[in-house]
Amino acid sequence: MHMLHDPADPAAAPIAFDDFLKVDIRAGRIIRVDAFPEARKPAFKLTIDFGPGIGIKRSSAQVCGLYTPEALDGRMVAAVVNFPPRQIGKFMSEVLTLGFPDTAGNVVLFAPDSDVPLGARLF
């Protein structure tokens, strides 16, 4: 959630459908939220359960503007699960939790509007 774009920007260049299929976006449930005081921008360390196929993964998420740890715990989210892990300070972020910027630039998490099985893949 580091690439913020202007909503007025035109769509990105066309890609092949096969390229879209390479991005593995799965549904998960946040099972733990930890403070991340050493992050350069305010963030939480999220522990997310993606079910038996993917397992439990961790993510750094800059969602402090709109969410408290209590509001995040148990919440469903969507994340890219097949990017290489990324070192953020001393923390290894294993998945990219997805969201959209609101008009103030706060991240609004992207999630299914009702429960789906953990690990369900976006198509």
Nearest by Cα to 110 from 95, 97, 122, 121: 97
- pLDDT score of 4: 60
Q: Give the separation between CA 85 and CA 94, rounded to whole angstroms.
A: 4
With helix as H, strand as E and coil as C, how does 11-35 read?
CCCCCCHHHHHHCCEEEEEEEEEEE
Candidates 3.60.9.10, 3.40.630.30, 3.40.50.720, 2.40.50.140; correct CATH number of 22-109? 2.40.50.140
pTM higher than 0.75 for the full model?
A: yes
Residues listed for the chain:
123
pLDDT tens digits along 4-21: 677 788 999 999 999 999
Domain boundaries, the chain: 22-109
pLDDT at 91: 94
Where does the pLDDT of residue 3 fall: very low under 50, low under 70, confident under 90, or very high at 90 and above? low
* CA dist., res. 114 & res. 91, Å (int): 31
Q: Is residue 2 scored above 50 in pLDDT?
A: no
